A and B are shown apart, each in its own frame.
Chain A
Amino acid sequence: MKGIGVSPGISIGKACVIKSNQAILTGILLKDADEISAGIKHFDDAVIAAINEIELTRQNKNLQLNEEDISILETQVEFLSDPQLRDDIIEKITAAKLNVNDAVITTIADMVQIFSAMEDEYLRARAPDIKDIGARILNHLDSPRPGFAQQFEPGTIIIAEDILPSAMITMDIANVTGFVTRAGSKTSHTAIIARSKGIPAVVGCGNDLDMINNNDLVVLDGTAGLVFVNPKQPVINEYKAKKDAYLTQANLLKQLKDIPAATADGTAITLLANISGAADMEAVFGNGGEGVGLFRTELLFMDRDSFPAEDEQFEYYKKVALLSKGKPVIVRTIDIGGDKQLPYFGLPAEQNPFLGYRAIRICLDRTDLFIIQLKAILRASMFGNLKIMFPMVSNISEVREAKTILVRAKDELLHDNIPFNPNVQVGIMIEVPSAAITADILAKEVDFFSIGTNDLCQYTLAADRMNEKITHLYDPYNPAVLRLIKYVIEQAHQHHIHVGLCGEMAADPTATLLLMGMGLTTFSMSANAIPAIKNIIINNDVSAARGICAKAMAMDNSQTIIEFLKGITAQ
């Protein structure tokens, strides 16, 4: 079955199905003023008892609460002492003469409904908080029962409707290896707490959940959001292997996440991530990335019927900016054409699409579309350290033209009194051989370069990277490609502009020392590749990397180069 993977990792264990008990309305009405004032006092006492209970939970050292747990408990105290909640309940007791049990149940149900209907996913996920408050108060209206004190066998996977925060916090989870719930979202408590404790979880499984019975063997993939009930042996074996691989990676990450990426001899290296939208930002910082080296904007333009308007684009870029914690984010203007087509933008089929009408070439032709994207990015630059990057540049006129249009975009915003950061940095992708060879010329026009090795490789070697018959020719270790990369890095340094590398080579452990030896200090890659690359960086010296680079560059073919580099990395 498929749900939403909210806490990554693989878990294989026995199911324990938990049913929640529901509070019941009594329908008994209060008779007189004495019963009403007694009801109000009963409610106030229950709230005080509930707050005291939370305080006891907070101080219980055996629970080993983390920061996330404490923050949830503090929020619950605020909910319990909320004057609006009290007003609503007192109103039901005094005006509608509901007994206190019924007043609490109906008031909480109303509030849960309000929150469940909210547009914001995060606020919708607060509905269980309110349910939980209700459960706590009701619990103290009766003679108090003990909380969620069930003991579990080692390797238990909990199957439940949803897990209330209080249960999640006080539950004996030492033996719990996974959670599967019917309801929930990425921001529900089950998700937040499972993540903070490193327990895999899949939520939002819906009615498929009824398939699971106590003691079923359950395989849970919290990364992909998959749950297998009593799977066959090959599936179990596959997931055992995945689990081991995940744990190795997770361990590496844990050791390295907060360590700065600096070489053993003290050179700081910046590791950035490639993203496609705000949804990828959590993984960027989660893997120890220090910003975004490539924000591909194509995703926003795909799967739709028309070009997104300026406001919609602005919101999309702003979301990323707000999540970027002030770290740099390089936004690449739209790179369509080639293998990336938009159904609503009828581009004619071409003989050689990769050598045709694509990327900056389209933008400079359709300036009406280009200026909308530039204005949207400029507006979003108020919310984070955004930089603008043009793809597929092949000569200096293109850079100058694109910059002229950027000036026009700024003028239009100024004219309309719309704020933006006037000092947004401008850079280009170096992915066409002519741009690489004239890096010295282009460096005078821009603030930074980013080397795109995938296209640079296929253009330099005249080898289509989609054509399976010639995959042996598509080879980034070909001395021609390496010379171009090295030249671009050197020219950027000479002209005192920043240079990074954002192609697949940045994530290739075989290339890390070679690139460092060429003088590269900024690598941008998919976020989950960062820990492994960081591990190489912190265990090596730049001076040694320079020696490795010199040796590799003196070799005459890529096979020898790859063998030599692999031999070093393996040491």
Chain B
Amino acid sequence: MITKEYTITSAHGLHARPATALIRLVKNFTSVISIKKDDKVVRLNSMLNLLSLAIKGGDSISILIEGDDETHAALAVNEFFEEQLQKL
């Protein structure tokens, strides 16, 4: 299991466009990937669940990854939060 914390640096947080991109990214892996905000955890296979966390710019979240391809998944998710998110 890999866990990493991120601070959301995009002004609008995880709104529809970045949320769509994140859900699509996660689909490429077999690992179970979840997102945690405060004490709520949801699996990253549901847009509705992800949006219901209402993640805003400046919020801190954790990503939890468990499965065979967790190392690759962690790299991809890392790139998403550190680089791509600000451009979406």
On A, residues with C-beta under 8 Å from B are 71-72, 74-75, 78-79, 82-85, 111, 114-115, 118-120, 122-123, 126, 129-130, 318-319, 322-323, 383
Contact = CB atoms under 8 A, between A and B. Distances in A.
A71 B10 CA distance: 17
A75 B16 contact: yes
Contacts of B20: 71, 74-75, 78
6 contacts: A75-B16, A79-B48, A84-B46, A84-B49, A123-B54, A319-B11
A32 B12 CA distance: 47
A82 B54 contact: no
A120 B47 contact: no
A85 B52 CA distance: 13
Contacts of B48: 79, 82, 84-85, 111, 130
B46 A322 contact: no
Interface in B51-71: 51-52, 54, 56-58
A129 B16 contact: yes
Contact of A322 (B16, B45, B49, B57): B57
B58 A83 contact: no
A508 B24 CA distance: 49
A126 B9 contact: no
A195 B13 CA distance: 21
A83 B45 contact: yes
Contact of B51 (A119, A123, A318, A322): A123
A324 B88 CA distance: 14
Closest A-B pairs by Cβ, 3 of them? A84-B46, A322-B11, A322-B57
Contacts of A72: 16
A140 B16 CA distance: 24
Interface string B10-25: 1111011101100110
B79 to A, nearest CB: 19
A548 to B, nearest CB: 41
A79 B20 CA distance: 9
A78 B23 contact: yes
A49 B1 CA distance: 38
A119 B17 CA distance: 19
A75 B46 CA distance: 11
A69 to B, nearest CB: 12
B52 A114 contact: yes
A420 to B, nearest CB: 14
B46 to A, nearest CB: 4
Query: Among B16, B17, B23, which residue has the most Cβ atoms of chain A within 10 A?
Result: B16
B17 A75 contact: yes
B47 A71 contact: no
A82 B11 contact: no
Given A75-B16, A122-B12, A129-B16, A318 B47 contact: no
Contacts, number: 57
B9 A78 contact: no
A126 B12 CA distance: 14
A284 to B, nearest CB: 13
Interface residues of B, number: 23
A129 B45 CA distance: 18
Contacts of A82: 46-48
B6 to A, nearest CB: 14
A75 B58 contact: no
A118 B54 contact: yes
Contacts of B11: 319, 322-323
A322 B24 contact: no
A383 B58 contact: yes
Nearest to B46: A84
A72 B17 CA distance: 8
A126 B24 contact: no
Nearest to B43: A83
Given A75-B47, A322-B58, 5 more contacts: A75-B19, A82-B47, A111-B48, A120-B13, A130-B48
A434 B49 CA distance: 60
Given A71-B17, A71-B20, A126-B16, A83 B9 contact: no
B30 to A, nearest CB: 15
A122 B17 contact: no
A78 B52 contact: no
Contacts of A114: 52
A418 to B, nearest CB: 14
Nearest to B57: A322
A502 to B, nearest CB: 24
Nearest to A84: B46
Given A82-B46, A84-B48, A383-B9, A119 B54 contact: yes
Given A71-B20, A114-B52, A122 B46 contact: no
A421 B57 CA distance: 18
B57 to A, nearest CB: 4
Query: Among B13, B47, B52, which residue has the most Cβ atoms of chain A within 10 A?
Result: B47
B80 to A, nearest CB: 15
A319 B56 CA distance: 10
A115 B54 CA distance: 10
A155 B52 CA distance: 40
B7 to A, nearest CB: 9
Contacts of B19: 75, 78
Contacts of A126: 16, 51
Nearest to A71: B17
Contacts of A123: 15, 51, 54
A111 B52 CA distance: 10
A78 B17 contact: no
Query: Among A78, A79, A111, A120, which residue has the most Cβ atoms of chain B within 10 A?
Result: A78
A556 B17 CA distance: 60
B1 to A, nearest CB: 22
